[in-house]
Amino acid sequence: MSSGDAVLTQVVLSHSGKMLFVGTTNGTIQSVKFPLVEPGEWHEHQAHSAPVARMCISYDDQFLISVGEDGTIFSFRIIDKEGRMLKRERDSNYAEEILITRSDLEEKNTTMSELRTRVEELKMENEYQLRLKDMNYNEKIKDLTDKFIQEIEALKAKNENLRTDKERLESRYEEEIHQQLESHSREVQERETTTNTKLMGEYEKYQELQARSQRLQEDYERQLQEMEDAREKALQELTEHYERKLHEKGIMLDKGADDLRKQQREAEEIQRQMEEDTDQEILALKNHYERQLHEQCDENLKLRGDTGILKKKVDSLQGEINELKGSINQLKQEVKKREGIINSLRNDIEGMKKEIQERDDTINDKNLFVFSFRKSAFMI
C-alpha cells in the first residue's frame, strides 16, 4: 500500500470511528478523514526519520503514540480543525488475553501434572476403599438376612398364637353379648312396665286434679254469684226503705208547712180580729211554732245521719265484695299453680318418653354393633 512515493506501514482507526491515522516508510504520519471520501482528504506530519514501526491510539482517543525504526517515540494530542479535543462516545473494550511469564506457565504445568498424579492415586485408593466397604456390607446383609428370617419365623408362631387367642376371645365375647342382650331386654321390659304404671298413676292424678280444679272453679263462681245477688238485693232493699222514709218525711214536711201556713193565716185573722191580744200570747205562739220547726229540723238531721249510716253500710258491703274478689284472685292463683304442677307432670311424661326413645336408640346401636362385629368376625 503506497501514498505517492511512500509506502504505508501502519494504519490505526480511532475508537470513535471518525479519524484514521496512517504511518509511512518516510517516517510521516497522515491524518485521513473517515469515512473515506473521493477525493481523499488528509494532513501529513513528519515525525520519524525512518519508517513508522508501530502506532496506537489511547483508549479515550486523546493521544496518538507512534514508534519509528530509528528508535524514537512520539506522542501526539488529537484535535479537530477548530482545535477541540475529540469526545469519547463509547467505552473501550478490554482484551480477554492475560499476559503471563514463562516461569509462571512452567510452574502451573508442573502443578497440574502433580495434581493429575494425585487424582489418579486418590481414585485407586477410593476404589480399594469401595471394595472393602462392599465386602463389609455384603457380610452385614447376610447377617441381617439370617436375623430377619429368624424373626419372621418367630412372628409367624406368634401370629398363630394370636389367632388362637382371637378365636377364643370371639367365642367368649359372643356369649357375653348374648347374655347382655338378654339382660338388656329384660331390663327394658321392666322399665317399660314401671314407666307405664307411673304414667297411668300420674294420668289418674292429673284427671283427679283437673276434676277438683273444675269443682273448685264452679263453687267459687257460684259463691261469687250468690254474694253478688245478695249484695244487690240488700242494696236495693235499703235503697227502697230509705227512699220510702224520705218520701214519708217529705210528706210530713209538706203537711207541716201547710199547717204552718194555715196557722199563720189563722193567726193573722185572729190578729185582725183580736187587736188587743197581748204580746205574751204572740210570743207563746211564736215559740210553739219555732219549737215545731226545730223539731222538724232535728228530724231532717236524723234522716241525714241515717242516710250516712246507709252509705257506710254500702261502703262496708263494697269492701266485703273487694275481699271476695281478692279471695277469688287467690283461688285463681292457686288454680294457676295447679296448672303449673300439671304442666310439670306433662314435662316429666315427655322426659320419660324421650328417655324411652333414647334407650330404644341405644338398643338399636348395640344391635348394629353386634351385627357388624359378627360380620367382621365371620370375614376374618
pLDDT in tens, 232-246: 887 778 778 777 877
List the single range of 37-41, 213-217, 333-337 with lowest mean pLDDT.
37-41
| Residue ranges per structural domain of the chain | 2-94, 177-379
Q: Residue 332 above 90 pLDDT?
A: no
List the single range of 180-189, 258-267, 311-320 with lowest mean pLDDT.
258-267
Task: Name the 3-class secondary structure at 167.
Answer: helix
Task: Name the 3-class secondary structure at 162.
Answer: helix
DSSP secondary structure of 180-247: HHHHHHHHHHHHHHHHHHHHHHHHHHHHHHHHHHHHHHHHHHHHHHHHHHHHHHHHHHHHHHHHHHHH
List the single range of 20-24, 186-190, 204-208, 298-302 with lowest mean pLDDT.
298-302
Are the C-beta atoms of 263 and 289 separated by less than 8 Å?
yes
pLDDT digits (tens, 9 = 90+) for 262-318: 776 776 776 677 666 666 766 776 777 778 778 877 877 887 777 778 788 778 778
Task: Name the 3-class secondary structure at 45.
Answer: strand
* Residue of 86, 84, 58, 65 lying closest to 23 (CA atoms): 65
Q: What percent of the chain has pLDDT over 90?
A: 9
pLDDT given at position 193:
86
Residue tagged 482545535 (cell numbers): 83
pLDDT given at position 118:
92
331/327 Cα distance (integer angstroms): 6
Q: Identify any residues that bridge with 85 across adjacent strands, giving them in sequence order.
A: 79
pTM above threshold 0.85 = no
Return the higher-pLDDT residue of 214 and 117. Answer: 117
DSSP secondary structure of 70-123: TS-EEEEE-B-TTSPBPPP-SPPPPPS-----HHHHHHHHHHHHHHHHHHHHHH
Average predicted confidence (pLDDT) for the chain: 80
Q: If you average pLDDT over residues 170-186, what whole number do you get?
A: 85
pLDDT given at position 115:
92
Q: If you average pLDDT over residues 107-136, what whole number do you get?
A: 90
Residue 24: phi and psi, rounded to 5, are: -125, 175
Are the C-beta atoms of 210 and 342 separated by less than 8 Å?
yes
Q: Residue 108 above 80 pLDDT?
A: yes
SS3 percent helix, strand, coil of the chain, rounded to 5, is 70, 10, 15
Q: If you average pLDDT over residues 150-177, what whole number do you get?
A: 87
The Cα-based distances of 107 to 98, 103, 120, 339 in angstroms read 16, 6, 20, 118
Cβ partners under 8 Å of residue 64, min gap 6:
12, 21, 29, 55, 56, 57, 58, 75, 76, 78
pLDDT given at position 95:
54
Rg (CA), the chain: 74
Cβ partners under 8 Å of residue 63, min gap 6:
57, 75, 76, 77, 78
Q: Residue 90 above 60 pLDDT?
A: no
Residue tagged 351385627 (cell numbers): 371
Q: Residue 258 above 80 pLDDT?
A: no
Q: Best-predicted range by mean pLDDT among 164-168, 227-231, 310-314?
A: 164-168
